[in-house]
Amino acid sequence: MKNKQTIYLSTSMKYILFMICVLFSFSSTVAQKNTKTNIYVWDFKYSDTNIEEFADKLTDDFETELIKLDNYAVLQRRNHNLVLIHRDMENSISNVTNLSSEALDQLKTIQAEVVVFGELEKDEGSGVYEVTVFFQNLQSGKIPKKESVIIPLALINSNTHRKAYMKQLIEKLHAKEILKAKNDQFSFISKKLDTYLIKVKDVQIAYRDILDIALKNESYFKELEGTITSYNAIFNDLNDNGERYLIDFESVWGKTYGRDLENIYHDIMEDIHKKHILKLNDVRKKIWDYRSNQTSKNTRKQLKQEIMLDSKNSTLGLTADIDKTEDQIETLYNNLKTDMRTE
């Protein structure tokens, strides 16, 4: 019994220690992941009660677009009833300095770090609505971002247009961040594509220029092998990770440019690699056979002719498809650069 009890206590302690480690690991993981700024969108003010409905809708639209931006941890208003009890007084609030101590405490309780304030004003004379929004740090009161958009009176009832204008407002508020994200993605993708072009051209040149020598000379054959190995590294990267690269690129640059990149990927995988590189791999196997073949001279001569002919046919088609894909890549680069210059 004593031995059994000792075993039981030992097991319990192990379990407790295990759970402590799990909890510690989980806490550490959460701490690492929770790096986004917590942000709370206060209901937009309005200049008169006749446009209160539009102010509410624009608040919702703005919050939705802010969530899509994925730069912040947006504390959705409907999930925080403690803050919502102040809704009756919200139209008088346009700054953290107007918040009651209770409201401040409640915002701190839900760990809000930044509060977004907005206001909808109607200008009858010019026939437009103006939406002004600014971000304010809850702790310091500093305002790092402030922008506005103009909405024609005729478009305020359109759900589609309201969302479009709020997306435009989000983009104006985050112009620097968006431009940096675009530049980072452009730099990342261009390095991948440029590396691929260099390596596939090396393969094309190797088979075109040194194949005859590689049949006879060991050092040239090793050079050919090294060229193929380098190509395989970038191809496998694009093949294994291309979908993730495409999703990341499209999330920043949008669907139109995303389709352009997808077409380039398709041509790399289907036209260049499957149609040509895999055939050259068959040529490579024939080279191995040729170099290890100890049969008659006629057999070796015939095998050499097959190798040279297959290589010539494959590299001709490969060159054409490389040129076509390179043109597509250059067009994409030019469009992306133009887009960034106009930001």
Chain segment 9-21, per-residue pLDDT in tens: 444 444 444 444 4
Q: Are strands 128-137 and 114-123 parallel, antiparallel or unpaired?
A: antiparallel
Average pLDDT along the chain: 82
The amino acid present at 202, given as its one-letter code, is D
Other Cβ atoms closer than 10 A to 52 = 16
- pLDDT tens for residues 205-233? 887 776 667 666 667 777 878 898 999 99
* 316 confidence band (pLDDT: 50, 70, 90): confident
Supply 183's token pair.
């530049």
Phi, psi (5° rounding) for residue 287? Answer: -65, -45
Evaluate whether 170 touches 154 at the Cβ level (below 8 Å).
Answer: no
At residue 70 the predicted structure's pLDDT band, cuts being 50, 70 and 90, is confident
Digit-coded pLDDT (tens) for 273-311: 998 888 777 777 777 767 676 667 777 777 777 777 777
User: Using CA of residue 271, residue 274, residue 275, residue 276, what is the dihedral sign?
Assistant: positive
In the chain, the amino acid numbered 318 is L
CA distance 85 to 118: 19
Q: Per-residue pLDDT for 184 more than 90?
A: yes
Handedness of CA 75, 78, 84, 85 (dihedral sign): negative
Confidence (pLDDT) at 294: 63
* Distance between CA atoms of residues 241 and 252, nearest Å: 17
Minimal CA–CA distance to 104: which of 118, 115, 117?
A: 115
290 token code pair: 């040729």
Largest Cα separation within the chain, whole Å, is 99
- Residue 192 has, within 13 A of its CA and on its CB side, a CA count of 21
User: What b-and-e string marks burial along 271-298, b requiring 16 or more CB atoms within 10 Å of the CB?
Assistant: bbbeebbebbeebbebbeebeeeeeeee
Report the distance separating Cα 227 and Cα 273, nearest Å: 15
**296 bridge partner residues:** none
Nearest to 130, CA basis, from 51, 67, 53:
51
What does the block give as tokens for 74? 């947006």
* First-residue to last-residue Cα distance in the chain: 78
Contact, 107 vs 115, CB < 8 A?
yes
